[in-house]
């Protein structure tokens, strides 16, 4: 069986208050829409992007860079969607 596709991208937190509960919830809901495993990395820490409480442990502040990584059939689409969310400052979607 071939390895599942892996896709990664670097994103920058541009929200003045960093990644607080509302954007984290948006991010998790979006990630949950994909079958791929989606992980967010900050430094040496990696968390499940489909779990808002796990995302909170990153304590990602404004200006910090994170790595979005997805593994699975729709990994490219998952990473692309999350990159767009970061680039839009979490403007597309309700909490």
**Average pLDDT of 15-33?**
95
pTM: 0.89
Contacts of 58 (CB under 8 A, 6+ apart): 19, 40, 42, 45, 47, 66
Please name every residue paired with 53 in a beta bridge, in sequence order, or none if there are none: none
Query: Confidence class of residue 48 from pLDDT cuts 50, 70 and 90?
Result: very high
Known catalytic residue at 41: no
Query: Confidence class of residue 1 from pLDDT cuts 50, 70 and 90?
Result: very low
pLDDT score at 5: 78
pLDDT score at 95: 45
Q: Which of 10, 12, 16, 20 is catalytic?
A: 20
Give yes or no for residue 80 having a pLDDT over 80. Answer: yes
């Amino acid at each position: 069986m071939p390895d599942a596709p892996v896709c990664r991208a670097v994103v920058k937190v541009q929200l003045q208050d960093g990644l607080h509960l509302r954007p984290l919830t948006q991010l998790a809901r979006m990630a949950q829409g994909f079958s791929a495993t989606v992980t967010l990395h900050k430094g040496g820490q990696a968390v499940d992007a489909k779990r808002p409480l796990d995302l909170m442990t990153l304590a990602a502040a404004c200006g910090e860079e994170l790595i979005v990584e997805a593994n699975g059939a729709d990994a490219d689409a998952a990473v692309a969607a999350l990159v767009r969310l970061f680039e839009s400052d979490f403007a597309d979607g309700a909490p």
